[in-house]
Chain A
Amino acid sequence: MNLDSNIPEGPLADKWSNHKFKMKLVNPANRRKYNVIVIGSGLAGGAVAASLAEQGYNVSCFCYQDSPRRAHSIAAQGGINAAKNYQNDGDSVRRLFYDTVKGGDYRAREANVYRLAEVSSDIIDQCVAQGVPFAREYGGMLANRSFGGAQVSRTFYARGQTGQQLLLGAYAALSKQIGLGKVKMYNRHEMLDVVKVDGHAKGVVVRNMVTGEVSRHAGDAVVMATGGYGNVFFLSTNAQGCNVTAAYRAHKRGAGFANPCYTQIHPTCIPVHGDQQSKLTLMSESLRNDGRVWAPKSKDAAKQIRDGKLDPNSLAEEERDYFLERKYPSFGNLAPRDISSRAAKEACDEGRGIAPSGLGVYLDFRDAIARDGQPAIAERYGNLFDMYSCITGADPYKTPMMIFPAVHYTMGGLWVDYNLQSSIPGMFVGGEANFSDHGANRLGASALMQGLADGYFVLPYTVGNYLAEQGIAKAGAVSADHPAFAEVEADVQGRIDRLMSVNGTESPRSFHKRLGRIMWDKCGMARDKEGLTGAIKEIQELRKEFWSNVRVVGEANSLNPELERAGRVADFIEFGELMCRDALMREESCGGHFRVEHQTSEGEAERHDDQFAFVGVWEYKGDDVDPALHQEALVYEEVKLATRSYK
């Protein structure tokens, strides 16, 4: 597997501009001869589809939702980072770069992160020009707030709906191109496989989710912007439809999968209410600007609260443990996500949890309301408070919010080089679906930044470069009549037929729940060798059981959510095993990956840079064959590897 990262020569700060100059261009009149396939219409997919069409390329864009406006980027609440330094508080490209590398626990690729920080300012300019209504000060200038893992205020926001507003910006740009006929949009279509011709990605096979029709689409390049795989845990903050299928099928066709075990558990989500729960809801990290996280000092007080015998407001100050402020005084409640999550888990493991299930701690606004007044707090977080009380039936202005960590984001993804090209030439990967920028832990407000950086400012250059390198003679040379397409289509159809014909007794959702339970228990916030080894066996058994006992009701040739779910769960099962293998291989703790065997005496993550300063890239070898591990060494030229400290 070719894992050349293609990092350009020269000093870090000059790499991207040098590279842009060296890249080949396609002349404007020739661009209309190319067709680029984009899978996904979130921030990365929507932005790249719109941008390529603006440049003159023909684009085919596919999404599983009924409209490109609904991709799950829409649910991001808190904000988007950019090194604008509008607050004059010491921010710079270099600092954003450094914070991101450090926040990722030194497991990200330096050159990619620097470029991300470099283009971050352009993103804000672009979004404002599109009419994104960011929060403003009375003077008319853009407002900022601070977020976890940073000591500057560099986060731009649109109330608690930043993701929505940024996505609607990209959707508007995309819609304009659809209206102009430069983008052909396929709603309610699910990508089920990628087609390679002479080793290059030349198209996809998709299923029309309304009619069940399986069809082939040829292109000169394929861009995957298919999001993350958090739903492997069944319960996560992801949308119901988020899945790993597109990425995993590409993996089976030869794309390396990097660091699958790096998952982010977000510290501030609403605790689980019961067995009928289908998803978890995030409460924006921005709440930690004013909310204080605590648990009772004594187990006894916690039990009384759980039993409804004690009102948390009546618990005296000295009875409360503001554990983030205690453990990490300089970052306090704004410690990074992985660290905050583990601290909450620790408190609950000690029997100090306060939710009825025992799994929850408080996020308390009492002091902020006393200091700034309720109207000021309502102005900042009103919609989040409303959402909380809508879901839980409790009023967070009066009683502290209950929170608990939940699966939120996946830093791992398809391996890409500096050009965001996967190990399959001609297949590019953007947004959460790739692995490159967040290392082992993502900082808050950086997902939106990365999705739009890839979509507006990186892929439109690198895809063009690839097309130019292939030469104009190859433009549109491969059609969907090529035998390779027929083969892949037959595979896809065969798999659908197989799912429909098992005729077992257990629903796809039930298998999904069982998989989620294994993953959360054995490959969640704390992992160990024994658990992971056991999980791999359990998942292999589950896979056999799935294929002999799944029950898919309905028909293949109509709208059938059960069939959609069955296909996704089948891929999640295989992928879950890969995650466990990756977690087992990585004998160290870093960021969101916490191996209990590898911790400091204070219970913090312990990295082993001498052995594990690499990207773990997995190559698919066959259904019942162990995957092969490849390594891309992480070379740090600028940043010195250090133990993260937020104390």
Chain B
Amino acid sequence: MKLKLKVWRQKNSQSQGKFVEYQLDDVSEGSSFLEMLDVLSEQQVANGEEPVAFDHDCREGICGSCSLTINGTPHGPENGTTACQLHMRHFHDGQTITVEPWRATPFPVIKDLVTDRTAFDKIIQSGGFITARAGSAVDANSSPIAKGIADYAMDAAACIGCGACVAACPNASAMLFTAAKVSHMNSLPQGKPEKDRRVLAMVSTMDGEGFGGCTNIGECEAVCPKSISLDMIAQLNRDYTTAKVKDFFYLVP
């Protein structure tokens, strides 16, 4: 198939970016979106131009590296799909496709379509863990966990940390990302001892990194490639409120 691409090019974080148009004449429908960009790269190298830079790694929808806004939607038009798992058969011959990086102040552009998402790592570093020193664990079956709770924790833990939720949110809020981690850990018995500290620290870091607040728009859930539910944000809010009240009375352990 033939395609026209409008791709965001930006030399580095300091420079101004702009859209540049490219024509591709022979894209296979079975290719993934990133394989289509590989074809563009080869074409650019042949012309002596620098190829479009984009983040990618596993190309099977799990590492969370790929981060493209395709025709205005993070990860493109298919629900529950990362850009690397988006296949060209979902586009039509002759279509014009716009490709941009994540647009959010806490994710500055490094180059072209590559952004810096270390703010997510900082949220995790502040409290997104259950402290369990290697060697200190008891037998895995010593504390049964109801299947429903384990399944709920798994639903939350499925987050791949790609940042599409932030890119889609008009407020650039990281609530869905933070909520997924809080819900995963706070719902499990192992996560209870640090429950309040965790949610307070993570929300505070989230705010400190410049992410916006949540105004219940729901774009995050709509673009999430792992279909993380807005319910997680409800749990975050509950846990946060409880922790705040306890904190007021100096009750957070």
Contact = CB atoms under 8 A, between A and B. Distances in A.
B124 A131 contact: no
A70 B64 contact: yes
Most B C-beta atoms less than 10 A away, residue of A125, A241, A386, A457 = A125
Nearest to B60: A281
Nearest to B124: A175
A370 interface: no
Nearest to B185: A131
B150 A134 contact: yes
Nearest to B88: A276
B35 interface: yes
Given A239-B57, A562-B51, A175 B125 contact: yes
A187 B133 CA distance: 24
A276 B28 contact: yes
B140 A124 contact: yes
B49 A273 contact: no
Interface stretch (A139-147, A298-306, A541-549, A635-643): A139-147
B117 to A, nearest CB: 6
Contact of A142 (B50, B111, B141, B188): B141
Interface string A516-560: 000000000000000000000000000000000001011000111
Contacts of B137: 122, 125-126, 128-129
Contact of A54 (B11, B111, B134): B134
A168 interface: yes
A237 B59 CA distance: 9
Contacts of B126: 179
Contacts of A70: 57-58, 63-65, 161
B12 interface: yes
A159 B132 contact: no
A168 B118 CA distance: 16
Nearest to B153: A133
A509 B59 contact: no
Q: How large is the interface on A (under 10, 10 to 19, 20 to 34, 35 or more residues)?
A: 35 or more
Of A210, A273, A390, A510, which is in contact with the most chain B CB atoms at under 10 Å from its CB?
Answer: A390
A390 to B, nearest CB: 5
B113 to A, nearest CB: 11
Interface in B77-94: 78, 80-81, 85, 87, 89
Nearest to B57: A239
Given A50-B134, A460-B134, A175 B61 contact: no
Classify chain B: how many residues form its interface, as a range: 35 or more
A536 B241 CA distance: 66
Interface string A482-509: 0000000000000000000000000101
B154 A159 contact: yes
Interface in B119-153: 120-121, 124-126, 128-141, 144-147, 150-151, 153
A128 B140 contact: yes
Given A278-B59, A561-B53, A510 B42 contact: yes
A589 interface: no
B45 A551 contact: yes
A390 B51 contact: no
Contacts of B134: 47, 50-51, 54, 126, 173, 456-457, 460
A135 B137 CA distance: 19
A309 B120 CA distance: 51
Interface stretch (A61-69, A409-417, A426-434, A442-450): A61-69
A176 B129 contact: yes
B130 A86 contact: no
B173 to A, nearest CB: 20
Interface string A382-403: 0000110011010000000000
Contacts of B118: 66-67, 187
B5 interface: no
Contact of A390 (B44, B46, B85, B144): B85
A131 B131 CA distance: 9
Interface in A149-195: 158-159, 161, 163-165, 168, 171-173, 175-176, 178-179, 185, 187
A84 interface: yes
Given A84-B140, A276-B31, A278-B35, A72 B89 contact: no
Given A240-B56, A551-B45, A161 B158 contact: yes
Contact of A276 (B27, B45, B131, B144): B27
A66 B116 contact: yes
B214 interface: no
A274 interface: yes
A507 B46 contact: yes
B188 A131 contact: yes
Contacts of A122: 135, 137
Given A158-B154, A171-B124, A141 B188 contact: no
B125 A131 contact: no
B60 A507 contact: no
A279 interface: yes
Contacts of B158: 159, 161, 164
B129 A558 contact: no
Contacts of B59: 239-240, 278-279, 281
Contacts of B129: 130, 172-173, 175-176
Nearest to A132: B157
Contacts of B64: 69-70
Contact of A72 (B57, B124, B161): B57
Nearest to A86: B141
B114 interface: yes
A127 B128 CA distance: 15
A168 B161 CA distance: 10
A275 interface: yes
Nearest to B55: A66
Contacts of B185: 131
A139 B56 CA distance: 40
Interface string B187-229: 0101100000000000000000000000000000000000000
Nearest to A47: B134
A647 B78 CA distance: 45
Given A134-B150, A141-B141, A559-B53, A66 B157 contact: no
A137 interface: yes
Given A274-B28, A390-B81, A75 B124 contact: no
28 contacts: A51-B134, A66-B118, A70-B57, A72-B63, A74-B58, A74-B63, A125-B138, A128-B190, A129-B138, A130-B190, A131-B184, A131-B188, A133-B157, A137-B147, A158-B157, A163-B62, A173-B132, A176-B129, A176-B131, A241-B57, A274-B28, A277-B31, A277-B35, A278-B34, A456-B134, A456-B135, A553-B44, A553-B50
Q: 5 tightest A-B contacts by CB? A: A140-B144, A179-B125, A172-B129, A129-B132, A273-B30
Given A135-B150, A138-B146, A273-B28, 11 more contacts: A67-B161, A86-B141, A126-B134, A136-B150, A164-B62, A171-B124, A173-B134, A241-B57, A457-B134, A551-B45, A553-B49
